[in-house]
Amino acid sequence: MNLKRFGVPAVVAITAALALSSCASNEGGAAPEESASTLSGTINAAGASSQGSAQEAWIAAFQTANTGVTINYDPSGSGAGREAFIAGGVDFAGSDSYLKDEELAGEFGSCAPDTKAIDLPVYISPIALIFNIQGVDELNLDSATIAKIFKGEITTWNDPAIVALNPDATLPAANITAVHRSDDSGTTKNFADYLFQTAPDVWDAEPADPFPYQTGEGAQGTSGVVDAVTNGVNTIGYADASRAGDLGVANLEVGGEFVGYTAEAAAAVVAESPLVEGRDANDLAIALDRTTTDPSHYPLVLVSYAIVCQEYADAAQGELVKSYVSYIAGADGQSVAAEQAGSAPLSSELSDKVAAALETVK
């Protein structure tokens, strides 16, 4: 790996994490005795923890079919993944946030000189508002109330605003512990973007990977948020829906109705959203429109990307990355992710766009 321009502590952390992930990815059972594939080499990647379950399934399937390939994915968070990719420490990044304009204006360590990276959607998933409240099995919330909870303006579960939305629930007179991501997180950015679009009078901070307010309790990564909500009392947090487990999940108000998440309802929002303007033709960053009033849609959704070079400095490594990302964005990979992580498969139209973009990768 090309680690120049990357800070030493970060390089050590990523190298250690990828080494551990390499051990884990190769302990999952014996590989087939024979493989028709001639691919060989190692791919190192890092980024969105939301993709964690899907990446585990993708890696297992791809390595089984391509026994000469080793893939390591460190679910270190979207911000850390983009930072590592920009510095040349990994071959691609997983990110719930597409590249910012200022990131695109810089250099990319693994890419050929004077070339840029592109954002390719590979994973669509609802974000679940997970909760663990004593005596409460079902919870309805609208976006303004969610914003006030995470901003610290509503501090107890029996607040009149929550009671009004849940007249049949016995809400405790207990303090709310609202858990957010402590690391730079694309899940946070998507959560904040939903509140910024639907409750702008309350959520006045521009969406970004860092959580914007000095409130609540911070936890590292998706697993950290899930653990904090699970092990705490009267807690609420946000996480990729694939990790909700047995926790309660709040229903969101959409068009005057309270709706739960489904993969199909999340995918519907993505399908009706445009691409970000002003990008290269093969950059498929999506500008999510979360203002729907259609209760068959679930607007608290994330689109997670594989961020790859348009042209790699090492052409052979580029072909290896291209093969893997083509698999995860294709029908087989999307089916595996839907089965193992509960994600929404890319629409045929979006899948075709990703395939066409990958054809341009060198």
State phi, psi for 166 to the nearest 5 degrees: -135, 65
Within the chain, what is the greatest distance between any pair of CA atoms? Answer: 64
- Which of 12-26, 114-128, 153-167, 329-343 is the least confident region? 12-26
Neighbouring C-beta atoms of residue 130, cutoff 10 Å? 25
State phi, psi for 5 to the nearest 5 degrees: 75, 5
Sheet containing strand 251-254, strands side by side: 140-141, 251-254, 257-259
- Distance (Å, whole) CA 213 – CA 193: 14
Counting Cα atoms < 13 Å in the Cβ hemisphere of 232 gives: 24
Q: Is 135 left (phi over 0), alpha (psi -120 to 50) or beta?
A: left
pLDDT average, residue stretch 43-51: 93
Amino acid occupying residue 136: V
DSSP labels, 302-345: EEEEEEEESSBSSHHHHHHHHHHHHHHHSHHHHHHHHHHH-PBP
The pLDDT of residue 63 = 96
Counting Cα atoms < 13 Å in the Cβ hemisphere of 149 gives: 27
- Distance (Å, whole) CA 90 – CA 260: 37
Query: Is 0.75 topped by the overall pTM?
Result: yes
pLDDT at residue 4 tops 60:
no
The pLDDT of residue 92 = 96
- Beta strands in 18-170, from DSSP E residues, in sequence order: 41-47, 69-74, 92-95, 117-132, 140-141
- Residue with the two structure tokens 């695109």: 104
pLDDT digits (tens, 9 = 90+) for 257-267: 999 999 889 98
The radius of gyration of the chain's CA atoms, rounded to the nearest angstrom, is 20
Distance of CA 125 to the CA centre of its chain: 8
- Cβ atoms 269, 292 nearer than 8 A: yes
- Distance (Å, whole) CA 283 – CA 246: 37
Amino acid occupying residue 167: P
pLDDT average, residue stretch 85-109: 94
The pLDDT of residue 239 = 94
Angle at 26 between CA 25 and CA 32, to 5 degrees: 120
The pLDDT of residue 20 = 43
Residue 243 DSSP one-character state: G
In a 3-state reduction of DSSP, which class is residue 286? strand
pLDDT digits (tens, 9 = 90+) for 117-138: 999 999 998 999 999 999 999 9
Q: State the average pLDDT for the chain.
A: 89
pLDDT digits (tens, 9 = 90+) for 182-210: 998 889 999 999 999 999 999 999 999 99
